[in-house]
Amino acid sequence: MSVKETIYPSRRFRGTPIIPGDKSISHRALIFGALADGKTEIVDILDGADVKSTAQCLQQLGVRITRSENTMLVYGTGDHGLVNPDSILDCGNSGTTMRLLMGVLAGQKIQCTLTGDASLRRRPMNRVADPLTQMGAHIRMTEGEFAPLSIAGGSLQAINYELKIASAQIKTALILAGLSSQGTTCLTGEISSRDHTEKMLSDFGVHLTLNSKSIEIRGGQTLRACKVQVPGDPSTAAFWIAAASIIPGAQLVLENISINPSRLGFLRVLQRMGADIQVEATSEQSEPVGRIRITSQPLKGVRVLKKEIPSLIDEIPLLAVVATQSIGTLEIEGAEELRVKESDRLEAIATNLRAMGGAIEMRQDGFRIEGFQKLQGTKIESYHDHRIAMAFSIAALVAQGPTEILNADCAGVSYPDFFSTLRKLTQ
Ligand code: S3P
């Protein structure tokens, strides 16, 4: 079924929307809970399609999971381990589900096949499979790189591994495999991606040796069930933050958002562009949580460096939209990972901005946008990618005339109430 949403330009943008739970933290809480000894309680877990994919795969692997309203209970399998599923595990659209589960399954004495939707079946999995194979897992991929893939796990050996890509999915998969290996696994290289795994594992009673250059994981540690309070997702909040920064007169307050520094690159870049954004810590468990206030201000383009990319990887489509409404040039480099997300996001940004009458100079690993640009409402191809559908809905708010977002239902991957919230904030 193809769902189309029509977005009209808006001069008004105000409110205090409730931001759904963080997607990365929700996945991790489910997976760590499944491996732990005891019952894990996850409060305010994201009710999005990606997280449902993780929960469903875990249930097929023998994990009991119950839900009542905003809380999930996960009955961990502990020492008993996971069981052979009786059918293929479908990770849907979720790269995090597939890659994190690969790390888990590599260390379990079972055999199974993982697949996903057309987008996920085009995304590279060898980046996780190669190190897991070095540790002793048996993995067969389609065309040596893609899902469907089959995995037979068992006795793993610790390795020293240098991460070449700053990806929290790869890092987490290897930490999870390291926990069920013999010996101590040491990860070096590009380890400075989002650090929810490192923080949450400590709540589950796992000790990792962390410093700025390496992560050491001693195999054989037991996870102990705990309670996880999931904060609001800063990558979801980013849509409203972007809208509030480009609609004159806008005002927005967001409560209970994860203000983990490894996720706040987008806010830091907006502040450099001149945005009036205040971040105030309101509680500090293992994840820092806070309030974000934003009042619209004129913005100017800046240069975003490669080393900043991991902290705003999911917000780059939005940054392109914001750049069209700023004065001067915004330039991004080192963002080639965007080509292997739910869609080729660099291509999707270029095609859709140009369709709206905007101009963008593309490079293999980024782009350059000269502001200020007048955008025209048009038909937007979401490429079934949630972040593209939502980013161009924000562009639609400052365009002339209505914009149609095609296949807009993909927003449900991370934000099922996105379009109804958008309507409330612009009323
Ligand atoms: C995620 C890591 C990032 C991010 C994705 C969620 C995670 O992917 O883009 O939305 O939860 O670990 P990469 O690890 O591929 O950078």
pLDDT band for position 16 (cuts 50, 70, 90): very high
Q: Which helix (H) or strand (E) holds 344?
A: none
Average pLDDT over residues 382-409: 98
Same domain, 350 and 262: yes
**What's the pLDDT tens digit per position in 107-127?**
999 999 999 999 999 999 999
Distance between Cα 57 and ligand 1 center (Å): 19
Q: Is 311 in the pocket of ligand 1 (CB under 6 A)?
A: no
Same domain, 345 and 257: yes
**What's the pLDDT tens digit per position in 76-114?**
999 899 999 999 999 999 999 999 999 999 999 999 999
Same domain, 200 and 121: yes
**Residue pair 340/347 in contact by the 8 Å Cβ criterion:** no
Which protein residue has the closest C-alpha to ligand 1 atom 11? Answer: 24
Residue 124: is the preceding peptide bond cis (ω within 30°)?
Answer: no
pLDDT over 90 at 328, yes or no:
yes
Q: Is 313 in the pocket of ligand 1 (CB under 6 A)?
A: yes
Say how many CA atoms lie within 13 Å of 323 toward its Cβ: 28
Strand order in the sheet with 215-218: 160-163, 184-189, 215-218, 208-210
Q: Total structural domains in the chain?
A: 2
pLDDT band for position 233 (cuts 50, 70, 90): very high
Among residues 179, 205, 229, which one ends one of the domains? Answer: 229
Which protein residue has the closest C-alpha to ligand 1 atom 10? Answer: 314
Strand locations in 110-263 (E) = 111-115, 138-142, 146-152, 156-157, 160-163, 181-182, 184-189, 208-210, 215-218, 227-229, 251-258
Same domain, 208 and 62: yes
pLDDT over 70 at 188, yes or no:
yes
Same domain, 184 and 238: no
Helix runs in 152-227, H state only: 168-179, 196-203
Same domain, 44 and 94: yes
Average pLDDT over residues 330-343: 98
pLDDT of residue 194: 98
pLDDT over 80 at 1, yes or no:
no
For residue 355, give its domain range: 5-21+232-426
| CA distance linking residue 411 with residue 417, whole number of Å | 8
pLDDT of residue 14: 95
Q: Is 50 in the pocket of ligand 1 (CB under 6 A)?
A: no
Same domain, 225 and 253: no
Same domain, 291 and 414: yes
**What's the pLDDT tens digit per position in 145-180?**
999 999 999 899 999 999 999 999 999 999 999 999
CATH number at residue 264: 3.65.10.10
Same domain, 271 and 364: yes
Among residues 229, 253, 287, which one ends one of the domains? Answer: 229
Q: Is 96 in the pocket of ligand 1 (CB under 6 A)?
A: yes
Q: Report helix, strand or coil for 272.
A: helix
Same domain, 273 and 422: yes
| pLDDT, averaged across the chain | 97
Among residues 229, 254, 286, which one ends one of the domains? Answer: 229
Q: Is 57 in the pocket of ligand 1 (CB under 6 A)?
A: no
pLDDT band for position 411 (cuts 50, 70, 90): very high
Same domain, 279 and 221: no
**What's the pLDDT tens digit per position in 257-290?**
999 999 999 999 999 999 999 999 999 788 999 9
Identify the residue whose tokens are 């040796």: 209
Residues near 327 by Cβ (< 8 Å), separated by ≥ 6?
Answer: 298, 299, 300, 301, 371, 372
Distance between Cα 427 and ligand 1 center (Å): 33
**Which residues are known to be catalytic?**
314
| CA separation, residue 330 to residues 150, 268, 301 (Å) | 43, 14, 4
Same domain, 206 and 108: yes
Average pLDDT over residues 327-338: 98
Strand order in the sheet with 366-371: 303-304, 328-332, 366-371, 361-363
User: Which of 313, 316, 410, when mutated, tests ligand 1's pocket best, judged by the most ligand atoms within 8 Å of its CB?
Assistant: 313
Q: Which helix (H) or strand (E) holds 245?
A: helix 234-246
